[in-house]
Chains A and B, each alone.
Chain A
Amino acid sequence: MLTILKKEFRSFLSLLIAYVVMIVFLLITGLICWVFPDTSILNTGYANMDILFNIAPWIFIFLVSAITMRSFAEERKNGTFETLTTKPITDFDIILGKYLACLLLVTLTIIPTLIYYLAVSKLGSPQGNIDSGAVIGSYIGLLFLAAIYVAIGIFSSSITDNQIIAFIVSMFLCFFFYSGFEMLRHITFIQDSPFGIDWLGISYHYKNISFGRIDTRDIVYFISMISLFIFLTKMMFSSRKW
């Protein structure tokens, strides 16, 4: 598993994917949080980072899809899938190795935004007046969200040998699981149903956790979603054996 992780991460570096992803993410969030006057933290008058945590899930929808789209689609297309799966390594190790490599890259992309936290806390009046609990909660939420996105992306990549299809399917699934359920709730007949359908969406739990309130129900939701998509990937993987 570690072998695969290392190899995958090295290929992110050697193919410049890692640098492009990090630069693009930081550029977009940097511009939106600090430069564009409509959204700039400097103009809101509040010392919080809500704007970052509101836009990050949307940026990740396409960024994570782009990172994960090649993981299996490319192997299938090139035939290296066959070399890899006939080596003494289990399917699960391959999937987990690739999953963790992608997740590591996403995590490294998020880390530089900690500077925003320092900046906002310095700007607070009095200095350091920032709701640290909420920020920590939001970061944990963002990591879990990215972890689900990566699982979705890996799964999408495993269903096809075409990277563009993997990319688009992954974007759609990420979008749908992030905010699709919340939006479905606005359809009248669903609205009347007794259970809250938005509970199924990521955004519901993401918002919960970003208040700084770490609830086991949310954590269980995140972990089950990740497991679900990894399990589905494993199913697609074994489909060659049917």
Chain B
Amino acid sequence: MSISVQNLTKRYKTQAAIDQISFEIKKGQVVGFLGPNGAGKSTTMKILTCFMPQTEGIAKIAGYNTLTHSIEIRREIGYLPEHNPLYLDMFVLEYLSFVANIFSLKNKRQQIDNCIELTGLTLERKKKIGQLSKGYRQRVGLAQALLHNPSVLILDEPTSGLDPNQVTEIRKLIRNLGEEKTVLLSTHQLQDVEAICDRTIIINHGKIVADKFTVDLKSDLGDNILIEIEFIEQVKLNFFEKIDGILKTEGGPNNFTINATKDANIQAKLWEEAVKNKLTITKLNQKTTSLEDVFKNLTTNANNP
């Protein structure tokens, strides 16, 4: 196991930031840590990177315990903290060589060059970090995390505040890195998870509410589907009552959203019924269930149980 967390709890005074969470991440997995603000994502990452200790529980990275083998773990991981803090008055090369010195890398020059090329900083390498745009700063942040070729990468919101093109590039980069390394990244952008992560852990109020492969998670909205339908004519709600499998209908007078069971073959029945009643359907489509729905479902239900 690359990362293993058992019953991890962190309490600030009496409030629990994370509460008895457990998960394990295998080598080479890319895992997305998803949750609303204040759910405990960053706290978990800070514990894993040995920035602060947990109140209870055990966290291990590459077999080392965070409480007893802090230095070994810090050699093993690459960490990009939230908000990507950097020394703005340093030059890109200067900063990377500083980080390389901390790790006392042997082939320093080569590692730095590799990293600069990998993160696409070649043109910016002689500039001051303070002069760079946010996207390039993010790359510098990633570069310092990758420099010593760590086996585990922990990235706290690597795509926040970037423009769509930059987001795509960073995602591609992480995706590529994920082929050899274990990556744990936090985000509240669901598209990130869909695009990069093999597996998603959703956390809310310090508890894990879902831990599944991203593919499974998407089909997990339950057995219900959402259908949007539009008629030319005005239709009364009781029109839908005749059809089997419809659970709930909202809207009107000619625009409806239908919540139905998945295998009831609702669309066909709707057409049939419409023809019978001489109604004209102008629009009929099934809303794809996105991760967003799953996310909303899981994180708002837990709010008011």
Give the interface of A toward B (CB within 8 A): 3, 6-7, 10-11, 14-15, 78-83, 85-90, 240-241
Contacts and interface: CB of A to CB of B under 8 A. Distances in A.
A195 to B, nearest CB: 42
A3 B98 contact: yes
Contacts of A79: 81-83, 85
Given A11-B89, A90-B71, A240 B51 contact: yes
Contacts, number: 58
Interface stretch (B99-107, B192-200, B242-250): B99-107
Interface in B85-102: 85-90, 94, 98-99, 101-102
A85 B74 CA distance: 9
Interface of B: 46, 49-53, 71-72, 74-75, 77, 79, 81-83, 85-90, 94, 98-99, 101-103, 144
Nearest to A82: B81
B53 A11 contact: no
A86 B79 CA distance: 8
B69 to A, nearest CB: 11
Contacts of B86: 78, 80, 83
5 A-B pairs closest in CB distance: A79-B85, A88-B74, A3-B101, A88-B75, A86-B49
B99 A87 contact: yes
A86 B53 contact: no
A85 B51 contact: yes
A78 B85 contact: yes
B51 A82 contact: yes
11 contacts: A3-B102, A7-B98, A11-B87, A14-B90, A78-B86, A78-B88, A83-B81, A88-B72, A89-B74, A89-B102, A241-B52
A89 B72 CA distance: 10
